[in-house]
Amino acid sequence: MIGGHTASITYLRLSVTDRCDLRCAYCMPERMEFLPRSEILSLDELDQMASAFIRLGITKLRLTGGEPLVRKGFVELVAGLSRHLGNGLDELVITTNGTRLAEHAEALARYGVRRINVSIDSLIPEHYARITRGGDLARVIAGVDAAIAAGIAVKINSVALANDNLGEVVALADWAQQRGAAISFIEVMPLGEVEANRIDQHVPMTEVRRRLSERWSLTPIALDTGGPARYVRTDAGGTIGFITPLSDNFCGSCNRVRVTCTGQLYLCLGQDARIDLRDILRSGDEVALETAITQAMRKKPLAHDFLIAPTRIQGVERHMSMTGG
């Protein structure tokens, strides 16, 4: 697919809902206001949107949210989209908080989902419940195990938080490794207002890496996903990623764009600029939709505008749950 400055854009992250059954403290405020349902694309519209991108050359589709598995009919959406696998689409993947994965893992595997990212920021049930404001760790672990049992490769996502889980990074990596799952540590990004101060939450990945390297020797591996993650292999055979959008940026090789559940196309997670595709989609004119997408792609920006410095934060207004991870 045509891009702007960058390598061609082949990866779409589509958010299927802004709603969530958790309220992670770094992601959204406790009293998060969700969008009215009329603004949200229907399942048919989500399918049409994804299908237009696939016709234009997207080969990897990630369904995310909010929490994708709380969207009614989500498994049916996956079932429908699976028709593109092998017909333009190489990969259909999901990012989930895992609370409902145990019920759905088998069906997702049946419809061609081979990889799932599950977010777990702590393995101590009380800490997990505090960070997620009420999440039940045991259910999420059951979800991870169900996905692995169904033959789905799991990657754990952990946001590194200065005052919450920094002391747990080795335990998290060890736990993932023992299950044969990769793990990525993510720097907290200044997306939307939350109660906590982003400067207090932020930990540079160099600190996470330092702690892990006290336990394992870490060898960089070439696993370029076209995103801001860099991977290492531990001497125990585990795979660990570091996602460093703030302290490093790899915007030049970025291959992805995002569409929200209201049909807004964001060319960069770290910028507010967006293109509204919902009305064009709802007009039913497929050619107009494809033209709008193609024209938008040429405008992909050079780099994000994020910054968390000791005295200053520069982020964007929307929460991560709008555009998905």
Is the CB of residue 55 less than 8 Å from the CB of residue 292? no
Judge contact between 27 and 324, C-beta under 8 A: no
Single out the residue of 23, 202, 230, 256 in contact with ligand SF4 (rule: CB under 6 A): 23
Distance of CA 223 to the CA centre of its chain: 17
Q: Which of 1, 16, 27, 78 binds ligand SF4 (CB under 6 A)?
A: 27
Question: At closest approach, how far in Å is the CB of 136 from ligand SAM?
Answer: 14
Report the amino acid identity of residue 135: G
From residue 184, how far is each of 229, 240, 318 by CA, in Å?
8, 6, 23
Interaction residues for ligand SF4, span 112-141 (CB under 6 A): 119
CB-CB contact of 68 with 17 (8 Å): yes
Binding string, residues 302-321; x marks residues near ligand SF4 by CB under 6 A: ------------------xx
Provide, rounded to whole angstroms, the least separation between the CB of residue 321 and ligand SF4: 4
Interacting span for ligand SF4 (CB under 6 A) from 60-68, 104-112, 265-273, 290-298: 60-68
CB nearer to ligand SAM: pick between 17 and 255: 17
Which parts of 2-160 are beta strand (E)?
11-15, 60-64, 91-96, 115-119, 153-160
Contacting residues toward ligand SAM, per CB under 6 A: 20, 26-27, 64-65, 67, 95-97, 119, 157, 159, 186, 188-189, 191, 320-321, 324-325
Q: Which helix (H) or strand (E) holds 110?
A: helix 101-110
Site for ligand SF4 in 71-100 (CB under 6 A): 97
Give the one entry of ligand SF4, ligand SAM, none that residue 23 binds, where binding means its C-beta sits below a cut-off of 5 to 8 angstroms depending on kind. Answer: ligand SF4
CB of 99 to ligand SAM, least distance (A): 9
| Residue 67 binds to ligand SF4 (criterion: CB under 6 A) | yes
Q: How far, in Å, CA of 69 to CA of 75, rounded?
A: 8
Total H helices, total E strands in the chain: 11, 14
User: Can you read off the two tokens belonging to residue 44?
Assistant: 């048919």
**3-state SS of the chain: helix, strand, coil percent to 5?**
35, 20, 45
Enter the tokens of residue 55: 């016709």
Taking the complex as a whole, how short is the minimal distance between the CB of residue 34 and ligand SF4, in angstroms?
A: 11
Residue nearest to ligand SAM (CB): 325
Tokens of 267: 């060319």
Select the span of 65-73, 83-91, 187-195, 302-310 touching ligand SF4 (CB under 6 A): 65-73
Q: Which residues bind ligand SF4 (CB under 6 A)?
A: 20, 22-24, 27-28, 65-67, 97, 119, 320-321
